[in-house]
Chain A
């Protein structure tokens, strides 16, 4: 028997890349798509795809998809689905509008109230899925109809707005420049640099710890290249943002949430249990894991994130419309699957989901700039989703 001990680091670079094809492939795909659009847009339209304004727009346009995809990943990992998030976005946006515009509530009261409404919606749906074992497809399909209807009712079929400036800043606000230089925004540069250093430091620390415990680390060359790409991209984006209007609030919220959820899914017992539940529910239950409660909690969490996204969407449009959030559930679910989550539950990573959402967002944005009609855009996005999943299935069967 091959008694190959861990820690000898004998694995070749090729073998390592093969094992992590998906994660590294995703980042490469995103970079390739960005480069593709940069060239095409420059050649055909004479427009700078990577202009500061467009990068800012990219984040503002896609923040809500990424935020909801974080929660949707947990739901899908647990082996379920939530089709209602688009309607919940509409509904919580409407609640925010009615409270702020019609009833004059202050923003500091509206935000927690809306998050609480989202929590209740998630709990109401999760209850039937977790404790009554009603298929989540059915429960959330019902939720999708119910909350769309309630949105119409609440808004009386009208647009309600505009929001006060303070609420709008939720989406369109920027972190003010503490150093007062203006352009480039020094605060933004400082925070981005800090983030880059943090990423490098944590990566190195994880490597050191792995070595200490005798885990075979990934080859240094792969680690270096990947971190170089990530940090370079980060610094580039940061510089562009700083030279425009600074760091959008949304980007800060987004980054904090991404780090939090990545930590939760990979480093906490509860996160681990959700993966075990999705991988084999019966085995998880027989290992003493309260699977019902976990399913319930993933839906509660999804509700809260959908409410947050609902407020961001409303703030961005500066009004609540009865149609807000229509079809969002499909973008979110597509982002999760493009990001490499398994259809049967049990696997998928936060970083993959964020990259998946960015791929969708970049494609939307790039194709719009190119002037590709919405008809072709839909077809192309559909094919990309299909291709990503076929790629996964093919790799798994190989």
Chain B
């Protein structure tokens, strides 16, 4: 078999982060090649290098494709050579028809005038190829996610694809849609289309992949042939790293149960009949740091946000108990009153008013704390801000600095200050160290330890397993919207977490 693609020694550096470090990847003509790795291991970055999102010259290393050196200036170049990537977030225009979407930017036209009959004819042929029985004029937004995924593939076929890259194509799909997609992949393989699939799901990889490359911390760990693929091996290669970060000493003395969530069910806010959280439950003790592990899309953020004031989802059911009493958390105000705080994963969009100064952000969740009968005391407000600036060592020339001008770590400290000023009993921290440099991470960990030492409960949602293992007294593992398992600090290891994630027990029970 001839080699279609060879990426040699690819390195890509972002400010402060080495995302890829001499990665090698070889893909043979006509195979399906799987790429595995943890969140943030560098899979997507590697594919962006390949597809020209990061143009030639912005990375080190060489890409040989079909016998020639590849020097893409942009996506258009790579697409012209038949390299097409389907991203996790679909790039379809929901209000346009299937035909319009398929040929977007690539219209069946002469002199700028679209030949609709020909476009429809071609659309039908392509839809037959991907096994979709829809009219070319159907609006894409009216189709389910599974069918939209197939349309993405049809769109790739319309561009004479030779190397098709699918980034977690089944992450948002139901079981039978996933199966259909995998069947289609095998069919395309039979027609000679080489494919790269990024996936976390071992059963899928086992079914379609000929070979598998495992990436960890931006470097290639191994490439396995089909005969070598085994769960243990993949897990070991995915997680087997040294503890790269350090964690502050933790002297845990968990007390009585502070918060208890039981029978929590949440449905997708827009998509009918899609359940996001299934019968989830967990407990948090006084002075305890509890971790929630899981891959992206496992439902961790959805769980947290639905508990915190029903800020996510529909038809929410289940109970939240604080200190043994059932509390109402159906609005954010009530959730705060019940003693909850939620530090969002998306600081800039959901956590901060970027154009306002630090001082106004810190008091936002507890304005009553710096006011008398609705009238603010500027002086008290400033004192509070100065206190937190000292306590959290927020590095800024003044508390009147707009938060937009702060670094990620300092912004996160402002968000934490805001919630601490609201004096919650339980803090839910969603990816608290994302996009923060190593030094600031340590500071955030230290703050978390202090919060626990004060007798508060801390829930940490994180995609970084070492961080969970280094900080948490207990870890819940989420998968497909349910709690797939619970591990004590002593039991927990990266291998055990990964195997709970990958075993996919939940789905088997439903099916």
Contacts and interface: CB of A to CB of B under 8 A. Distances in A.
Interface of A: 1-2, 4, 6, 209-210, 212-216, 267-270, 272-273, 275-276, 279-280, 282-290, 346-347
B332 A285 contact: yes
B283 interface: no
Contacts of B232: none
A287 B309 CA distance: 10
Given A268-B375, A288-B365, A276 B350 contact: no
B437 interface: no
A104 B113 CA distance: 69
Contacts of A4: 397-398
Contacts, number: 97
B397 A269 contact: no
B436 interface: no
B145 to A, nearest CB: 24
Given A275-B356, A279-B355, A280-B353, A288 B379 contact: no
B360 A276 contact: yes
Nearest to A269: B367
Contacts of B371: 268-269
B264 interface: no
Contacts of A287: 332, 364-365, 418
B112 to A, nearest CB: 33
16 contacts: A4-B397, A6-B399, A6-B400, A267-B375, A268-B371, A268-B375, A269-B367, A269-B371, A272-B376, A275-B360, A276-B360, A283-B353, A287-B365, A288-B335, A290-B331, A346-B356
B374 A283 contact: no
B333 A276 contact: no
B344 interface: yes
Given A4-B397, A282-B350, A269 B368 contact: yes
A266 to B, nearest CB: 8
A275 B395 CA distance: 25
Contact of B397 (A2, A272, A273): A2
Interface string B343-367: 0100001111111100010001101
A173 B333 CA distance: 47
Most A Cβ at <10 Å: residue of B309, B352, B364, B379: B364
Nearest to B422: A288
B397 A276 contact: no
Contact of A270 (B342, B354, B374): B374
B311 interface: yes
Contacts of B336: 288
B383 interface: yes
Contacts of A273: 367
Contact of A213 (B342, B378, B395, B422): B378
B446 interface: no
A215 B386 CA distance: 11
Contacts of A269: 367-368, 371, 374-376
B352 A280 contact: yes
Interface string B369-399: 0010011101100110010000000010111
Closest 4 CB pairs of A and B: A279-B353, A213-B379, A269-B367, A287-B365
A287 B360 CA distance: 12
A325 B153 CA distance: 58
Nearest to B344: A286
B356 A276 contact: yes
B379 A212 contact: yes
Interface string B51-87: 0000000000000000000000000000000000000
Interface residues of B, number: 39
Interface in B430-476: none
A287 B335 CA distance: 10
Interface in B148-190: none
Given A273-B367, A285-B332, A287-B365, 14 more contacts: A6-B399, A214-B386, A215-B382, A267-B376, A272-B360, A275-B360, A279-B354, A282-B350, A283-B351, A287-B332, A287-B364, A288-B335, A288-B422, A290-B333
B313 to A, nearest CB: 14
Nearest to A347: B355
B364 A276 contact: yes
Contacts of B349: 280, 282-283
A8 B374 CA distance: 31
Contacts of B353: 275-276, 279-280, 283-284, 346
A209 B379 contact: yes
Given A1-B395, A269-B367, A283 B352 contact: yes
A100 B86 CA distance: 70
Contacts of B311: 285-286
Contacts of A214: 382, 386
Contacts of A276: 353, 356, 360, 364
Contacts of B351: 283, 286
A363 B403 CA distance: 38
A283 B350 contact: yes
Interface centre among A4, A210, A270, A279 (most CB of B within 10 A): A279
A1 B383 CA distance: 21
Contacts of B398: 4, 6, 216
Interface string B120-132: 0000000000000
Contacts of A286: 308-309, 311, 332, 342, 344, 350-351
Given A286-B311, A287-B364, A287-B418, A213 B383 contact: yes
A284 B374 CA distance: 17
Contacts of A6: 386, 398-400
A341 B353 CA distance: 16
Contacts of B331: 290
A282 B344 CA distance: 11
Contacts of B395: 1
Contact of A272 (B333, B367, B418): B367
B374 A268 contact: yes
A284 B356 CA distance: 12
Nearest to B346: A282
B392 to A, nearest CB: 14
B90 to A, nearest CB: 23
Contacts of B333: 288-290
B429 to A, nearest CB: 14
Contacts of A216: 398
Nearest to A345: B355
Contacts of A267: 375-376, 378
Contacts of B383: 213
A279 B352 CA distance: 9
Nearest to B419: A287
Nearest to A215: B382
Interface string B299-321: 00000000011010000000000
A215 B382 CA distance: 8
A209 B378 CA distance: 9
A98 to B, nearest CB: 38
A272 B368 CA distance: 11
A272 B374 CA distance: 10
Nearest to A270: B374
B418 A279 contact: no
A288 B376 CA distance: 17
The residue in A4, A276, A286, A290 that gathers the most chain B C-beta atoms within 10 A of its C-beta is A286
Contacts of A272: 360, 364, 367, 376
Contacts of A289: 332-333, 364
Contacts of A285: 311, 332
Nearest to A280: B353
Contact of B382 (A213, A270, A282, A290): A213
